[in-house]
Amino acid sequence: MITFVAKDGDGNVYGYWHGQSNRPIEHAPIVQYDTEGQFYIMPGASLTEAFCASYCFEDDDLFDDFKQAFAELDVRFVCDGWQAVYDSEITPEDDPANLHSEIYNRERVKRGLPPVE
Protein backbone atom coordinates (compact mmCIF):
# COMPACT_ATOMS: atom_id res chain seq x y z
CA MET A 1 0.00 0.00 0.00
CA ILE A 2 3.05 2.28 0.36
CA THR A 3 6.08 2.77 -1.83
CA PHE A 4 8.78 3.97 0.57
CA VAL A 5 11.45 6.07 -1.12
CA ALA A 6 13.36 8.05 1.52
CA LYS A 7 14.58 7.88 5.10
CA ASP A 8 15.73 10.83 7.20
CA GLY A 9 18.45 11.03 9.82
CA ASP A 10 15.92 10.47 12.62
CA GLY A 11 14.72 7.16 11.16
CA ASN A 12 11.41 8.41 9.73
CA VAL A 13 10.57 6.99 6.31
CA TYR A 14 8.64 8.65 3.48
CA GLY A 15 6.80 7.40 0.48
CA TYR A 16 3.68 7.38 -1.63
CA TRP A 17 0.38 6.14 -0.17
CA HIS A 18 -1.33 3.90 -2.72
CA GLY A 19 -3.92 2.82 -0.18
CA GLN A 20 -6.43 0.05 -0.45
CA SER A 21 -7.46 1.21 -3.93
CA ASN A 22 -3.84 0.89 -5.13
CA ARG A 23 -3.87 4.40 -6.65
CA PRO A 24 -1.07 5.07 -9.13
CA ILE A 25 2.01 6.82 -7.79
CA GLU A 26 1.25 10.05 -9.68
CA HIS A 27 -2.00 10.35 -7.68
CA ALA A 28 -0.65 8.99 -4.39
CA PRO A 29 -0.28 11.43 -1.49
CA ILE A 30 3.02 11.64 0.36
CA VAL A 31 3.09 9.68 3.62
CA GLN A 32 5.48 9.75 6.56
CA TYR A 33 5.90 6.72 8.82
CA ASP A 34 7.64 7.88 11.97
CA THR A 35 9.76 6.06 14.52
CA GLU A 36 6.75 5.83 16.87
CA GLY A 37 4.86 3.72 14.30
CA GLN A 38 2.49 6.52 13.28
CA PHE A 39 1.44 7.47 9.75
CA TYR A 40 0.94 11.04 8.54
CA ILE A 41 -0.19 12.31 5.16
CA MET A 42 2.07 15.22 4.20
CA PRO A 43 0.94 18.15 2.07
CA GLY A 44 2.59 18.59 -1.29
CA ALA A 45 2.29 17.39 -4.86
CA SER A 46 5.70 15.71 -4.73
CA LEU A 47 8.17 14.50 -2.17
CA THR A 48 10.42 17.47 -2.94
CA GLU A 49 7.60 19.97 -2.47
CA ALA A 50 6.51 18.29 0.78
CA PHE A 51 10.04 18.33 2.21
CA CYS A 52 10.60 21.95 1.22
CA ALA A 53 7.30 23.11 2.73
CA SER A 54 8.10 21.30 5.97
CA TYR A 55 11.68 22.61 6.11
CA CYS A 56 10.70 26.18 5.13
CA PHE A 57 7.66 26.41 7.41
CA GLU A 58 6.75 30.11 7.79
CA ASP A 59 9.74 31.27 5.70
CA ASP A 60 8.50 32.43 2.29
CA ASP A 61 11.92 33.64 1.14
CA LEU A 62 13.59 30.31 1.89
CA PHE A 63 10.80 28.41 0.10
CA ASP A 64 11.25 30.69 -2.93
CA ASP A 65 15.01 30.05 -2.89
CA PHE A 66 14.46 26.29 -2.83
CA LYS A 67 11.76 26.48 -5.51
CA GLN A 68 14.09 28.43 -7.81
CA ALA A 69 17.03 26.10 -7.16
CA PHE A 70 14.93 23.03 -7.93
CA ALA A 71 13.50 24.69 -11.07
CA GLU A 72 17.07 25.00 -12.36
CA LEU A 73 17.22 21.19 -12.03
CA ASP A 74 13.89 20.84 -13.89
CA VAL A 75 12.05 19.92 -10.68
CA ARG A 76 8.85 21.97 -10.66
CA PHE A 77 6.60 22.78 -7.72
CA VAL A 78 2.83 23.04 -8.08
CA CYS A 79 2.44 25.53 -5.23
CA ASP A 80 3.88 29.04 -5.02
CA GLY A 81 4.71 29.09 -1.30
CA TRP A 82 4.91 26.96 1.82
CA GLN A 83 1.44 28.11 2.95
CA ALA A 84 -0.07 27.11 -0.40
CA VAL A 85 1.42 23.64 0.06
CA TYR A 86 -0.21 23.31 3.48
CA ASP A 87 -3.49 24.72 2.14
CA SER A 88 -3.49 22.00 -0.54
CA GLU A 89 -3.30 19.21 2.05
CA ILE A 90 -5.79 16.39 1.49
CA THR A 91 -7.01 13.51 3.61
CA PRO A 92 -7.62 10.42 1.49
CA GLU A 93 -10.69 8.31 2.22
CA ASP A 94 -8.38 5.44 3.13
CA ASP A 95 -6.12 7.45 5.44
CA PRO A 96 -3.19 5.25 6.55
CA ALA A 97 -3.49 6.27 10.21
CA ASN A 98 -7.17 5.27 10.29
CA LEU A 99 -6.49 2.02 8.45
CA HIS A 100 -3.67 1.22 10.87
CA SER A 101 -6.03 1.75 13.84
CA GLU A 102 -8.75 -0.38 12.26
CA ILE A 103 -6.40 -3.30 11.61
CA TYR A 104 -4.80 -2.97 15.06
CA ASN A 105 -8.18 -3.00 16.82
CA ARG A 106 -9.46 -5.88 14.69
CA GLU A 107 -6.47 -7.96 15.80
CA ARG A 108 -6.99 -6.96 19.45
CA VAL A 109 -10.62 -8.10 19.31
CA LYS A 110 -9.57 -11.43 17.74
CA ARG A 111 -7.39 -11.96 20.80
CA GLY A 112 -10.18 -11.12 23.24
CA LEU A 113 -8.86 -7.63 24.01
CA PRO A 114 -10.93 -4.46 23.87
CA PRO A 115 -10.25 -2.02 21.04
CA VAL A 116 -8.34 1.16 21.86
CA GLU A 117 -9.23 4.67 20.79
pLDDT in tens, 74-98: 999 999 998 999 988 888 889 999 9
Q: What pLDDT sits at residue 12?
A: 96
Q: Is residue 67 in a domain? A: yes
Domain membership of residue 117 (yes or no) is: no
Task: Considering only residues 91 and 109, tell me which one the structure prediction assigns the higher pLDDT.
Answer: 109
Beta carbons of 85 and 42 less than 8 angstroms apart: no
Q: Please indicate, yes or no, if residue 116 is contained in any of the structural domains.
A: no
Task: Give tens-digit pLDDT for 20-57.
Answer: 999 999 999 999 999 999 999 999 989 999 999 999 98
CB 67 within 8 A of CB 79: no
Q: Per-residue DSSP letters for 29-60?
A: PEEEE-TTS-EEEEPSSSHHHHHHHHHTTT-H
Nearest CA-CA partner of 35 in 8, 67, 1, 65: 8
Q: Number of structural domains, the chain?
A: 1
Model confidence, pTM: 0.81
Which of 95, 96, 87 lies closest to 37 in space, CA to CA? 96
